[in-house]
Amino acid sequence: MNITTCIFDLDGVIVDTAKYHFLAWKRLAREQFNRDFSIHDNEQLKGVSRVESLNILLRICEQDVPENVKLLLADLKNKWYVEYIKKITPDEILPGVLKFLEELKSQKLKIALASASKNARLLLDRIELTNMFDCIVDGTVVTRAKPDPEVFLKCAEDLDMEPEGCVVFEDAIAGIEAAHAGNMYAVGVGDRHILYKADMVISSFKEINIDSILNLPNLKKYE
Ligand code: G6P
Ligand code: MG
């Protein structure tokens, strides 16, 4: 099957927002529970929804709070996070991303955005990339979190493309698993020791071009 579509995760793939999520979660742990939240702890939150991230943080901080308080805490963290991303500019698009997207477009491949974030559109507007995508599926639309393939399958459906012709770019293990669960190829963006389940791993978009993607069918497909 020919590759027709490239589907991009947002946080950690197109822009490095993990640091802003981290700063906001760290502040929540410090101000609400007087606990430290480390960059190592933060690894567990990548690709994970806001509410589930809060549950993980509460476990790490050994806190048990009622559901109504959880909503307040999640809102507080989001308020701080939004303050950070409102200041983001197109300069923060990760190296090589723009050139790669433009290459895909010039070759008439479809480009989709698949993110668990409810702030995805705000972020895309800030980095001036909204119009680059043929389809945007974000946390306001999906009901099942990665590793469920819903977010990626919805992109394929919206674009009227077969999942087997889609390549997903992901920095989170759960995202790689979700792509495979949807019968799509997965390119890991980050550390190959962490993302070893991917069909191919890059540390930056400066390392690939469209030929690397069109040759993907030669790789062994994940069973
Ligand atoms: C992405 C990020 C996660 C974040 C989630 C929800 O998947 O990798 O760290 O928790 O989106 O983001 P939101 O902006 O809706 O809180
Ligand atoms: Mg991500």
Q: Which of 9, 10, 11, 173 to mutate to test the pocket of ligand 1 (most atoms within 8 A of CB)?
A: 11
How far apart CA 157 and CA 100 sit, in angstroms, is: 23
For position 139, what pLDDT does the model report? 93
Separation of alpha carbons 94 and 96, rounded Å: 6
- More confident site: 2 or 66: 66
d(CA 203, CA 222): 21
Ligand 1, CB within 6 Å, residue ranges: 11-12, 21, 45-50, 53, 78, 115-119, 139
Section 88-103 average pLDDT: 97
In tens, the pLDDT along 105-129 reads 999 999 999 999 999 999 999 999 9
**Contact of 81 with 21, CB cutoff 8 Å:** yes
Q: Evaluate whether 181 touches 75 at the Cβ level (below 8 Å).
A: no
- For residue 160, what pLDDT is reported? 98
* 11 labelled catalytic: yes
Residue 218 has pLDDT above 80, yes or no: no
Q: What's residue 1's pLDDT?
A: 72
Q: What is the pTM of this model?
A: 0.92
- Whether 41 is catalytic: no
Helix (H, G, I), strand (E, B) or coil at 65: coil
- Taking the CA of residue 120 as reference, the ligand 1 atom at the shortest distance is 14
